[in-house]
Structure 1
């Protein structure tokens, strides 16, 4: 990752292009060549000065804030190392059991230059930096914030180079390492360390799955969504002796069924979208993000099913029941609500408008196939997908819509 840009909780922390533009009239930095294309990628107009541009740190109530020229990135360490950990367990004999591989948190250390025209401006710049690194006001907290960075100098709109990390918070700093006093101003070296609770580095969603799907236009079908899993039989172990069957297992207690989980056949609206194998990066796994707006009425019995389609066949004719990967099933969503099931953060929420009171946020009940406990799906390697969306026809509003994004991720960047 380049150190020239960092956005934390929707606040620009580092922008080398901005800092270089503000420093140039003061001749404070004479040998600096920041990343070209950065300003255009973040859709900023040409930089003039902190006051005219309403720079992130500028505060009309603090006059010295106009004399802060910005934060320029020098180094960013922690992105280019894997967070995977494994503890082998030594066997009594030779060798060891490998143990389970897991990924720990990610620590990211930045070294930056804080540019200011005088001492009070430098003091305010440190105050602002310390506050901004705490994250978005009224958000983040223990869950952390999202950060946006670039893998290399962006070109065009920067979509190809943009990366995201989630669950990010300040671990240490900011710390003033040194300050060089020039006739034109002050160049201070500052370090700080962020920690990402979600270690993955995410790209932008695949562009082939960004369109919204009008659920009310889906085909009418009579189907039991759980029936498909009963059509796929498990293979019989070949080493079972037919003349010496194993002893029967003890009778298991029946598994209780949640009364909120709907079962049986019903009339559904069915919509299908396809992801071609060639559109999925070959060496990157991906996670889904489901967004849905219920529209004018409550929506019941939502089923979003993912089917493996490695050969890129016609998704309208799904014939192999054993190709079903997993489900996202939700029994009820209130009218006028917005659903987000985010595989990047592994969190789900429903926003419901409350009139003058604002918006209420609740966690939906998620089920997996056949009402089992929900597990967050991960799609590895380059595989085609068919994504089937079912919702009961009687409760699907004409203005209901949904989309399923697929977001590639990596362990290093």
Structure 2
């Protein structure tokens, strides 16, 4: 094995399920296995046996911080809690057959840690790790981090010369811009839905919110109203938000409370393909459903948790609204180019400001997907995923 040099010197922790989870065949040598670092043009690459993990720090530490502000009198205002970026410090071993292969091993590791080439703004990469020794396909133990990039290193901290080769200990630090650690999406959602198969209904998107006004505070005196507040900047509103009746296609999916983790937050991921025609007036609405009622009977928008509304999507487009990274993108064909990616503007209820939803309790969910019937292609389809997250793991 590539790690035989290290295992001769120390006891290796057994993880029999790792090879199966990675679909990893038995190791022979870098040339026969066509290892990722092997380069026929660099002979010493054949003497580089690989990288072996020793330790990692940063997963078991919460990034949550709070900065209390001292009051003039006694005590303090706690302030808003927030989470900083996550730093992960890795210690690994580079295993080589002779010292001439060590510089190449360091060059390869440094290049590999740079991540994928930047396209537009550099937002980092997705990183997958196992929380413990995997079993079976490893999905239960798999975790994901987003916005990951190299922060520092790699740096050689020690080198051991043996008759069989050289072992170099190396450290490097990765930073995850998104502090959360995400699991795989819940199994209760994720099936693709053909939007044209949704029930046909007629309603006015503006009228359904007519009775959703905020209740009058109990201390408001009608004979002595409070002074008016200063004028605030207007909230941007979707300029194409419709009024009047229109025909929509309505599809509904459900998630039971039992399918959600009891102590973990979850965020949604919406994926949609428009098919052969442009899609207009996409509305995805979320309701809590703690009693597990029939989601086809849920229709009160005033009780909805939130909306995701998008006025227009071009034909042949793929949409992803990702609550893990809080980013939305649309990919579509662009003339002679293969594809182009753009960021759509997301709106909330009544075409107003959008807020990224987070579901903190296992209440179950009813999810409604609406689009105007006249613009819903026969091959348009969508799915919604729900992804649990934690700030330690």
Q: TM-score, normalised by structure 1?
A: 0.90
Could you say which residue in structure 2 is the equivalent of 1:120?
Answer: 100
1:95-128 CA-partner distances (Å, limit 9, x unpaired): 1110111111111100111111111221111000
User: 2: CA distance between counterparts of 1:375 and 1:198?
Assistant: 17
Question: Is 2:326 aligned against 1:346?
Answer: yes
**Cα offset for 1:251?**
8.0
**Cα offset for 1:242?**
4.7
User: 1: CA distance between counterparts of 2:89 and 2:206?
Assistant: 48
User: 2: CA distance between counterparts of 1:90 and 1:255?
Assistant: 33
User: 2: CA distance between counterparts of 1:163 and 1:194?
Assistant: 16
1:127-153 CA-partner distances (Å, limit 9, x unpaired): 000011011124596311111111111
**Cα offset for 1:27?**
7.3
Alpha carbon RMSD of aligned pairs, Å?
Answer: 2.1
Question: Is 2:257 aligned against 1:277?
Answer: yes
**Cα offset for 1:262?**
3.5
User: 2: CA distance between counterparts of 1:251 and 1:92?
Assistant: 30
Question: Is 2:69 aligned against 1:89?
Answer: yes
Question: Is 2:102 aligned against 1:102?
Answer: no
Residues 231, 321 of structure 1: 8 Å contact kept: no
Residues 199, 249 of structure 2: 8 Å contact kept: yes
Could you say which residue in structure 2 is the equivalent of 1:11?
Answer: none
Q: Which runs of 5+ in 2 are unaligned?
A: none
**Cα offset for 1:243?**
4.7
1:365-396 CA-partner distances (Å, limit 9, x unpaired): 21111111221111112121111000111111
Could you say which residue in structure 1 is the equivalent of 2:312?
Answer: 332
**Cα offset for 1:309?**
1.0
Residue among 314, 317, 320 paired with 2:297: 317
Change (3 A) 1:263 1:76: farther
Change (3 A) 1:54 1:259: same
Could you say which residue in structure 2 is the equivalent of 1:69?
Answer: 49
Residue among 155, 161, 171 paired with 2:151: 171
User: 2: CA distance between counterparts of 1:193 and 1:251?
Assistant: 48
**Cα offset for 1:230?**
2.7
1:335-365 CA-partner distances (Å, limit 9, x unpaired): 1110111111111111112364211111112
1:191-238 CA-partner distances (Å, limit 9, x unpaired): 000111111111111111121111111110112234333323433322
User: 2: CA distance between counterparts of 1:52 and 1:254?
Assistant: 65
User: 2: CA distance between counterparts of 1:80 and 1:250?
Assistant: 46
**Cα offset for 1:404?**
0.7
User: 2: CA distance between counterparts of 1:80 and 1:106?
Assistant: 10
Could you say which residue in structure 1 is the equivalent of 2:139?
Answer: 159
Question: Is 2:340 aligned against 1:360?
Answer: yes
Aligned pairs (5 A) from 1:118-157: 118-139=98-119, 142-157=122-137
User: 2: CA distance between counterparts of 1:251 and 1:182?
Assistant: 75
Q: Which runs of 5+ in 1 are unaligned?
A: 1-20
Residues 274, 385 of structure 1: 8 Å contact kept: yes
Aligned pairs (5 A) from 1:267-306: 267-306=247-286
User: 1: CA distance between counterparts of 2:135 and 2:124?
Assistant: 29
User: 2: CA distance between counterparts of 1:283 and 1:264?
Assistant: 43
Change (3 A) 1:319 1:338: closer
Q: TM-score, normalised by structure 2?
A: 0.94
Which sits farther off after the overlay, 278-287 or 353-362? 353-362
Residues 237, 353 of structure 2: 8 Å contact kept: no
SS in 1 for 2:32: coil
